[in-house]
Structure 1
Amino acid sequence: MLRQGLRLYGKWCRFSRPITQLLTLTVVTFGVLAPLICHRLLHSYFYLHRWHLNPMSQEFLEQNQEDGQAALRYFEDLRTPNSSEISGDKALRPWLLITIITVQRRNEFHYVLQVASRFHRLLQQCGPHCRSHQIFLCNVEQEPGSHQDARLLGTFFAMVSRYKNWEDPNASVNQFEKEKRDYAFCLEQSLLAYSPEYVLLVEDDAVPEEEIFPVLQHLLLARLSKPHLKDALYLKLYHPERLQRYINPEPMRILEWLGLGMFLGPLLSSVYSWVSGRPSLTWPIVLFFALYSMALAELVGRHYLLELRRLAPALYNVVPATECCTPAMLFSAPSARRVLGYLQELHCRRGFAKDIALYSLLRTKGEKAYVVEPNLIMHVGMFSSLRPNDSPKLL
């Protein structure tokens, strides 16, 4: 009995050593708990693509189709407003003009109706703070009369069409250059029609988040009024979630990642010392928990940490812009005019689309641009107008 008791005591002593406990914690966390909890999180390293990607993509498409039908019913049930109620009085200069760029897409999803109905509903809920906001529709379909959703929205909002008939005056240009010219046309028309202080240029598959207007109010009046942010060329409201990880080319994220470890390392070490009854912190244990928390944050997904910032507008982050994607871009009136001049000098092509062209201006023209984290819009369009795909996936 004494020998058996000594053996059990020896095993307990070995397990009670910090290296054994911390090794066990690592194995349990990364080998058992995290895979079990996170295997359905789309933007996590633990996501099981083979099990979930196809059914989740199909579920997303079905939900998107239902949302499109709901948006159609929204405008069908909405009484036809007078021009001053929704379309806006052009004699009044809006503080924020929301310009929706639209082209004919898959009819059953009614992408542009989803975007417009969400913006309209949020403006109605926003109250007095949003009375100086207006919605403007820019139809860049080559045969504008065939775009039925745009025709429906034209009874509610002011609208401009780039093309008057099927004949395209720019038929000789490639699709990427056409997209850039359409984009520039809509931005220019926004300035000419309303002369707003800010233009939010939104593509027709970029549905706004519920908190977009309170956050923009805070950003434009408080954060972006600071000298080093005030003259930015643009502010992006969206960056793809799959590109928001810490291990990415953006050096600012590495600093954020290290800061997370420096904060959580001592905090978790203190909790460990209290639970294990150890008298004080040691640097090896602090270092372990710093690396442990950094690894856990990256593997679970930085995107999910960013979601915590939605608790209040002041928590949203503004960081230097990254290259990809233009579903929702905010321009001040002076920066919009600069962008229009710059875009005339650039020719887009495959591999150098308008998002890359805009980003290239930051280097060639010495401009600055920023992106908001987390995203203020949801990119719902799985069917691209540039790259046809009959079987789209979420990733």
Structure 2
Amino acid sequence: MIYLSVEDLKLLQQMKPIVEKDIDYITDQFYQTVLGVDKLQTIILEHSSIERLKKTLREHIIEMFEGTINEEYIAKRLTIAKIHKRVGLEPKWYLSAFQNLQNVFITVIYNETGKDNERLKVVQTVTKLLNLEQQLVLEAYEKENIREKEEQYLLVKNELKQKIAEFSGELIDLSIDTNAAVEQLVASSNEVNDTFRRTAASALESQGMATEGHGHLDSLTGQINLIYESTHAMERSVNELSSSSKQIQKIVAAVQDIADQTKILSLNATIEAARAGEHGKGFSVVEGEVSRLAEDTKNTVVRIGELTEQSGSLTRQVVEEIRKVQELTQSGRLQSIETSQLFSDIVKSMQVSTQEIVTVEEEIKVLIQTIEGIGSSTAQTAASAEYFKKATDNL
């Protein structure tokens, strides 16, 4: 494309003696310009020396004017390009240096050539040669950059694949562990839910039993009230009985007085019968019967009095026991009222607790559904991680 021909190569051979004669001038001018750039000077001093590079440049320039371009020639230029790339020489510095080298060549050609048409021909040929040199080096630069990028890409790719594989593996393991934990949590939540259902059922049953107990307690309170009222009635009856016993005792006392008086009369009758003699015998018989009747009446009245006294004593004991029963009944009545109130509070509390248990049961159902949703998402994550890992392996 640059039309570098065999005639150009022959012309280069013809220029070789002139170049060899001015080679020191050419190299000195070249490095004078290069060393004027601090960065280029730093690169040179870090990897080589000025004299060594001048010697290498002399050989390189003279070889350019040998007029021979073959595989060896190209291989050397590619090697130079790799060295430049390795030491960090950027293409812009390389192109600038070659531009300066081209300026030096034109100056030498102008000074060593007499005719303008010859100068033009030589300048064109040298320009073609330098252009070829630049093409070879820049192409090598580009290939080296591509190779480095590919190596970097492969390095990053492999590292990324490794990291992704490790991450995917860890994600799979984590997803499996998470899924297992979620399944265990779901099972535990179901057990808790079953326990809550049983607790709710027990609470409802206990609430029913408490309500039933409250009813029985109300019935018992009613019965205690009836007993309490009955003891009052019994107390009144016993009091009336006691009053009757007292009246009987009074009657007994009166009868006893009558018996005593009858006995006195009987004794008087006996005295009078004795005085009457034979005429008082019939009266004596009557007196004996009256005396016996008085004695029997007295004995009977004494027995009735003893029984009445015993009945009164028993009545007093009954009254005392009835009072004790009244006290116990009153205490039981109060305790029954307090227990009834306590049962009412228990029933209300159990109603609230039962409602709370039912509410918690519903919340646990929602929680189980949420956990199952998490488990499903975790399983999908594990599947995605497995797919991601396989896709990474195929990169």
Structure with max Cα Rg? 2
Determine which structure has the larger strand proportion and give its number. Answer: 1
- Output the TM-score relative to the length of structure 1: 0.16
Determine which structure has the larger helix proportion and give its number. Answer: 2
